[in-house]
Structure 1
Amino acid sequence: MSSRLTRRRRRRPSVVLPLLSLGMVIAAGVIFITDLLRFSQREELLSADLTLGGVSVGNLTLELAGADLEEAYSQPVVLMYSDAPILLRPDTVGFRINTTSMLAEATAAGETGGGFWTRFVNYLLGQEQSARRNIPLQADYQVNTLRMTLEDIATRYNQANSQSVFDTTTLTTYGGTSGYQLDVEAAIPMIERALRSATDRTVQLPISEGTSGIADLDTLRSLIIAYLDNRGFIYDGQSTVASIFIQDLTTGEEINILGDVAFTAASTVKVAINVDFMKHLDNEPTQDDAWLMANSLLCSANSTSNLIMSDMIGNGDQFDGIADVRDTMQEIGLTNSYLISPLVDGSPDQQFGSVAQPQTSPNPNFNTGADPYNQTTAEDMGTLFSLLYDCSEFGSGLASIYPDQITQRECSQLVELMSANDLQRLLQGGLPPDVRVSHKNGWYGETAGEAGIVFSPNGRNYVISVYLWQDTPEDFQIYAELWPIIEDISRAAWNHFNPDQALTQPRSDLPSTAQECYTRDAAGNTEYNYLPPYGEVDLNNINGWRDGTPTTPQPGGS
């Protein structure tokens, strides 16, 4: 009986394990379905680290992501015209985003890592691949529409430059008020970058400044002509003629008022004589050479100038020397200038004659009674000083024309020498005292003229050449009328190039006539005014004989 009972107990089935197994299967199924539902729902959202064109759209539906993208790029771009804000709506320039294509890329980015079930298994195992990336903006706009919009802005906001003006009472020029304008072409790529940015949507428009407040040379030209009219000296008259040539040595710009009219060159031709002298110097000028040059250019001695042409240039034949000077003037571009006879020096045994006159073509509409043996124009003499300046400062100019005969040092010495020409009148009388000017004067008959280089303290150096002719009963210049005119023209040029140091009134400290290079007292003693004594002519420091103080450093040392 006990055996039977035992068998009954063994046959009774256990319900715990099946129920436990069933519960586990059901629980696993629930978890699976729950995870599957969660994964499926999450698959409808974009990846957490995804951005579209810089707009964060992580964990958003495609619909919401597209809306956020459109919203970000529909915001106006702020255009700053100086301090004035201008709103530019993207749709006004045809800006459109290809949202559909970008969302398709975003969807594809979320499907990295295989198919649905592979990604689900990776999700369950915690081995998902992150889709961290930015979908680049896909957009376009109409460039021509943007350009027209900017041109409209420019029309409304740009300020034109006002014209330069002059004042004949003070002989000053004034630049117009500084205008400004929008640089349309430079603005287009800047605005395009802002249209394509979700965050940086402000553009400081490129505004170009207008004039700097400095008058142009045309204004100076108008001032000079107006001044001459007010003075009663008609520059293109029948009995009066004024020729003015001014060159800005910084920019190369020029003023040319009847610069091609022929005048008697008088002593201004001595600049060309000494340039030719430089051509024939094989070595550093001796003290004798320097003394001759100083007497020719500072004291304007005709006899010394003739000696240079005959002995130093012509090897004892004055007409060979004169012909060489003539040819040099033509070669360097002084096409309406020449010297074809010796200068009258008053010596009883002076030999006269002439060499052949070159072919010239000065302005035929004006007759100033120019010396048929010694002529020049304001333009030619200004050109000569410009060539000297370029040679002295840069080693070009005359040194380029005669590379084997004229050096930069020689040009610097010639410029330095003429800076001692202390007449205190004419061009120099229109400048503040102590301004360095390298110049040469000349007057004869009814003509007065001078040309030179003015070295402005502000670096705006310039060449100025002025010749005046006035028909007179005596056939001789009325210097009390002509010299102040030259001085005022010089002052107008100075004021133009040096507005911060303008001379608004004529100088009251000028002598009645030009200072002599030296004088002698009753006992015959020589007083040197600006001609250095013999033996002390330093072409590298022309005023050093007074106290030894250097005046102007020269290229290559002293």
Structure 2
Amino acid sequence: MPRAWNRWLSRGVALLLVGFLIWQFALFQQELQRIPRTWTVAGLAVGGRSIEEALDAVERALAAPLRVQYQDHTLMLDPADVEARLDRGKSRELLQQALSERQRPGAFLQFLFRQPPPPRDLPVAIQASPEKIRLWLLEVARRFDEPPVEPQPDLERFAFTPGRPGHVLNISRSAERLQAALAQAAPREVALVVDEKPAPPLSLSALGRFFEAYLSAFDGTAGIFIKDLRRGETWMHNGDLPFSGVGVMRLPVALAVARARDLIHDEARRQTVFRMLTDETALPAVDTLLTDLGEGDPAKGAERVTALLRELGLVNSFMAWPFDQPGTPPAVVTPANSRPELPTHPDPRQQTTPEDLGVLLEMLRQCTQEGGPLPLVSEGAVQPGECQFILEAMTQNRLLDPQGQPTLLAAGLPPGIAFARRPGWTNETRADAGIVLAGRAEYVLVVFLHRPILMEWEQAVRMMGDLSRITSQFFLGTPSE
């Protein structure tokens, strides 16, 4: 009897166990159709709900405004403004795929022992207009961006005010964040990506603004060319406007002589070129060199100077007639002097532009370093040593005022700075052009000042000194730096 009882008892327990397992498996199958209580959907607690119930709750939450943070500024974005809405079809597939992963063998055992699945947040899919998101962000950027500001000209202190850092919305990264936040039912907030921007360094454009402001009170016409020879950056004001060549055209004369003659071993010609470049009264030296270039005809010598300029691509510069020689020069038409109503009334005998002259100075410097177009155009006739001689001769131009002080552009340079320059003037036009060789910086500066009838010398000296001084501060720093 006891044995039969034990058998019946064992069978009963087994039946009960099987029944319990079948019952639990049925509950497990029902559980598989619902979101686990430890899971969230798009950040929203919807545990225990069916897929459709969870999607309903998420859809309602996604319709609420999104809190958007731009640094200290808070904005509210209505999802409808960017056409954001739940894609129920794709979202249903995502949830069904996640629930189907629970049908692995071990999941039923976890269910039996009441071990909930690890916490997990299930994503949903949304549809939104990328273009409208971008447009919304652009409007936010327009309202709240503070771009960095580069140093600004201060005419009162004759210096530059320090630049200011800023911040700018990163549109592409913020669009990614916004797109992701629109698909989150909770929390309904996102911080945009704002890039901090340091204050930009001083640039040639800032120096140009200083010049423009400075020249606004000038009742004549100015032409300016600046080039940073280290960085290759250029700024011009009336750079393509023709001016009378005046004394600055002695530079291409020297280069034409270097092309046609030997300046390395011919001491007499070297001395003549040196006088022409350093002595403003040495007009006979100019005539001698032009006559030599023209094989006895200074007019033909002038033609050879112009021919070199053309080969170098300097189409707005020419020498149609020798300096201070009688006769009628041939008419020379250039792109620069073809414009109507030229305010500078350039001399028909010799003309140039600030840009042409500045580029020629740069070519001279390149030639001393065995580069640039001068050696190429001359097929090696212009040697780096000849260019170095011309450059060094120009540094010996000691144009001084009655008190023995440097004048024109040299007046604005710190003591001891090498300045290879070619000045020149008429009653109406004052000019100075050269290369500042300061070791840590090298730059070309060309300034023409013109006023009909008379460009007062004192005013030209003051203006050129001012322009040169602020330019040297730009490239070299203030004297205290």
TM-score, length-normalised on structure 2? 0.72
Q: CA deviation at 1:329?
A: 2.5
> What's the counterpart of residue 24 of structure 2?
38
C-alpha distance in 2, partners of 1:343/1:154? 61
Q: CA deviation at 1:439?
A: 1.6
Note if contact 1:454-1:464 (Cα within 8 Å) is conserved in structure 2. Answer: no
Amino acid at match of 2:144: Y
| TM-superposition CA deviations, 1:181-225 (whole Å, max 9, x none) | 535455312422454578997544234759848564663343233
- 1:270 matches 2:250: yes
C-alpha distance in 2, partners of 1:102/1:376? 74
C-alpha distance in 1, partners of 2:457/2:17? 118
Match of 1:501 among 472, 478, 481: 478
- Percent of aligned pairs sharing the same letter: 19
- 1:302 matches 2:292: no
> What's the counterpart of residue 450 of structure 1?
432
Change (3 A) 1:72 1:111: farther
> What's the counterpart of residue 111 of structure 1?
103
> What's the counterpart of residue 479 of structure 1?
457
Range 66-75 or range 436-445, more displaced: 66-75
Amino acid at match of 1:35: L
Note if contact 2:150-2:206 (Cα within 8 Å) is conserved in structure 1. Answer: no
Amino acid at match of 1:302: L
Q: CA deviation at 1:397?
A: 5.5
> What's the counterpart of residue 26 of structure 1?
12
Change (3 A) 1:73 1:105: farther
C-alpha distance in 2, partners of 1:157/1:26? 77
Match of 1:245 among 224, 233, 239: 224
Match of 1:326 among 295, 306, 312: 306
Alignment of 1:407-426 (within 5 A): 414-423=390-399, 424-426=406-408
- 1:138 matches 2:125: yes
Alignment of 1:250-399 (within 5 A): 250-256=232-238, 260-263=241-244, 265-280=245-260, 285-286=264-265, 288=267, 291-300=271-280, 301-311=282-292, 313-314=293-294, 318-343=298-323, 356=330, 358-360=332-334, 362=337, 365=341, 371-388=347-364, 395-396=371-372, 398=374
Amino acid at match of 1:271: L
C-alpha distance in 2, partners of 1:402/1:200? 73
Alignment of 1:52-91 (within 5 A): 62=50, 66=54, 70=58, 79-84=68-73, 86=75
Note if contact 1:329-1:338 (Cα within 8 Å) is conserved in structure 2. Answer: yes
> What's the counterpart of residue 537 of structure 1?
none
C-alpha distance in 1, partners of 2:383/2:74? 60
Corresponding pairs, count: 455
The CA RMSD over aligned residues, in Å, is 5.1
C-alpha distance in 2, partners of 1:202/1:378? 55
- 1:220 matches 2:220: no
Alignment of 1:172-251 (within 5 A): 172=159, 181-185=168-172, 187-195=174-182, 202-207=190-195, 212=200, 214=202, 216=206, 219-228=209-218, 234-235=219-220, 242-249=221-228, 250-251=232-233
Change (3 A) 1:141 1:328: same
What residue ranges of structure 1 are gaps of 5+ in the alignment? 1-14, 229-233, 236-241, 345-350, 504-558
Range 425-434 or range 90-99, more displaced: 90-99
Q: CA deviation at 1:274?
A: 2.0
Change (3 A) 1:43 1:461: farther
C-alpha distance in 1, partners of 2:392/2:189? 61
Alignment of 1:116-127 (within 5 A): none
Change (3 A) 1:149 1:40: same
Alignment of 1:455-534 (within 5 A): 459=441, 461-469=443-451, 471=453, 479-494=457-472, 497=474, 500-501=477-478
C-alpha distance in 2, partners of 1:133/1:178? 43
Note if contact 2:258-2:382 (Cα within 8 Å) is conserved in structure 1. Answer: yes
Change (3 A) 1:442 1:101: same
Match of 2:419 among 437, 459, 480: 437
Change (3 A) 1:140 1:354: same
Note if contact 1:342-1:353 (Cα within 8 Å) is conserved in structure 2. Answer: no
TM-score, length-normalised on structure 1? 0.63
Change (3 A) 1:218 1:481: closer
Secondary structure at the counterpart of residue 253 of structure 1: strand
C-alpha distance in 2, partners of 1:330/1:388? 16
> What's the counterpart of residue 403 of structure 2?
none
Note if contact 1:81-1:204 (Cα within 8 Å) is conserved in structure 2. Answer: yes
